[in-house]
Structure 1
Amino acid sequence: MVLRSLFRTARSADDAKPASSPAPPTGTGTRTFLADPSLTKISGEWLFDQAHSTIGFAARHAMVTRVRGSFTDFDGWLLLDGERPERSGAGVVVRTATVDTRVAQRDRHLCSADFLDVERYPTINFRSTCIEQVGEDRFRMTGALTVKGRTHPITIDLLYTGLVVDAFGVERIGFDGTAVVNRSQWDLTWNAKLETGGLMVSEKIELEFDISAVRVP
């Protein structure tokens, strides 16, 4: 299984690094959080449950309304350390051709070379580089986002929504996440001027994540 091998590679890479203490907090208002006993149970390997997760986005259209969309085919993994969250990691692979805004014509335009150019770039990839705990159930994840062959860092604010055992006896964990990016960094630059001034599509894009993941046995 490809994602299982990603777990092994990530864990091997971490184990090969010499142990070090986390960097001291910097900046005004930064807090240090000790290991929360309730978080130790989240440690382990997790796979996104596509049927119960959403990877979405929102953009301003014609400067007056927000258009939302999502991708319907993706894989994701989490390698969590509840005692030392900074040692956790995550990765996501999104199939660009599955973009869905509920309007077929708009979806075809997003798939074209004006935007995602799905024939040349069939996937969007994300890999975390840093995770820090910033609240009792809040985390900040920095990582590398690759779109159309261009890679830039993004920061995702995450809310841990809980760990449960579902009706089928499966352990399930949840996170909500948000990030704001400028699409032009990834050569997503198509636009049209409005007669009244302004642009058809906003440069800033809101990314939205509603993740349910199941524990890997």
Structure 2
Amino acid sequence: MATTWKLDPTHSEVAFKVKHLVITTVTGYFRSFDGTVVTEDESDFTTGKVNFTIDTSSIDTNQAQRDEHLKSADFFNAAQYPQISFTSTAIEEKSDSEFILRGDLTVGDTTKPVTFDVEFGGTVTDPYGNFKAGFEVSGKISRKEFGLTWSAVTEAGAVVVSDDVKIQASVQFVKQ
């Protein structure tokens, strides 16, 4: 029987990391996001269909001026494209607790296939009777492939923002 799992945003986070000036890493978060997983059976996540959305204006790098720049047309253009979306196309089991999640990621007006590594943390019933499942998701994308091409170069020739963006999410879903 099909089972729907709804994201628990209170116990989840979505983060990204990008190199700045090639010498340090800046970490940012998206504070508003939503997702569902629909499985054919509550104990078999390889049958899952994942849909996930992120509110681009919820970006938070702990620096307001940088956040405003990231929301601008130079990057996410949050006014025109208020959401980033992901829809799964396949889930492959590597082991009992490791999966490969494939799907289509849409940033702005660009949709590309992406792959994420997923570690299944398990399932548990919380103190309030809610049945939950936890996952750690990680991967890397090229920001330029998604039209995020703003760049600058220092006088010494160093790139201000790297192309590679590491994505990390710790997500908890509640069985509906």
Question: Deviations for 1:138-189, whole angstroms, at most 9, x for unmatched residues?
Answer: 0001000001111000001000001111122211110001010000011101
Q: What is the DSSP-based 3-state SS (H/G/I as helix, E as strand, rest coil) of the residue aligned with 1:97? A: helix
Structure 1 position 52 matched with structure 2 position 11: yes
Question: Deviations for 1:79-106, whole angstroms, at most 9, x for unmatched residues?
Answer: 1346654421101011111111111001
Q: Which residue of 2 aligns with 1:16?
A: none
Contact map agreement 1:85 1:132 (CA 8 A) in 2? no
Structure 1 position 180 matched with structure 2 position 140: yes
1:135 maps to amino acid? S
Q: Which residue of 1 aligns with 2:115?
A: 155
CA distance in 1, matches of 2:52, 2:46: 18
Q: Which residue of 2 aligns with 1:111?
A: 71
Q: CA deviation at 1:213?
A: 0.9
Aligned mate of 1:137, from 86, 97, 102: 97
Q: How does 1:67-146 map to 2 (within 5 A)?
A: 67-80=26-39, 81=41, 85-146=45-106
CA distance in 1, matches of 2:83, 2:115: 20
CA distance in 1, matches of 2:119, 2:21: 31
TM-score scaled by structure 1?
A: 0.77
Which one has a larger percent helix, Structure 1 or Structure 2?
1
User: RCO (CA 8 Å, sep 6+): is it higher in 1 or 2?
Assistant: 2
Aligned mate of 1:169, from 129, 147, 150: 129
What RMSD, in angstroms, separates the aligned Cα atoms of the two structures? 1.5
Question: Post-superposition, which runs of at least 4 consecutive aligned residues in structure 1 deviate over 3 A?
Answer: 81-86
Q: Which residue of 1 aligns with 2:24?
A: 65
Number of aligned residues: 175
Q: Which residue of 2 aligns with 1:190?
A: 150
Say which one has the larger Rg. 1
Q: Which runs of 5+ in 2 are unaligned?
A: none
Q: What is the DSSP-based 3-state SS (H/G/I as helix, E as strand, rest coil) of the residue aligned with 1:195? A: coil
CA distance in 2, matches of 1:82, 1:179: 25
CA distance in 2, matches of 1:85, 1:118: 32
Q: What is the DSSP-based 3-state SS (H/G/I as helix, E as strand, rest coil) of the residue aligned with 2:104? A: strand
Q: Which runs of 5+ in 1 are unaligned?
A: 1-10, 12-42
Q: What is the DSSP-based 3-state SS (H/G/I as helix, E as strand, rest coil) of the residue aligned with 2:65? A: helix
Percent identity, aligned pairs only, is 34
Q: What is the DSSP-based 3-state SS (H/G/I as helix, E as strand, rest coil) of the residue aligned with 1:108? A: helix
Which one has a larger percent strand, Structure 1 or Structure 2?
2
CA distance in 2, matches of 1:210, 1:124: 17
Q: CA deviation at 1:198?
A: 2.1
CA distance in 1, matches of 2:37, 2:10: 17
Q: CA deviation at 1:196?
A: 2.2
TM-score scaled by structure 2?
A: 0.94
CA distance in 2, matches of 1:79, 1:140: 17
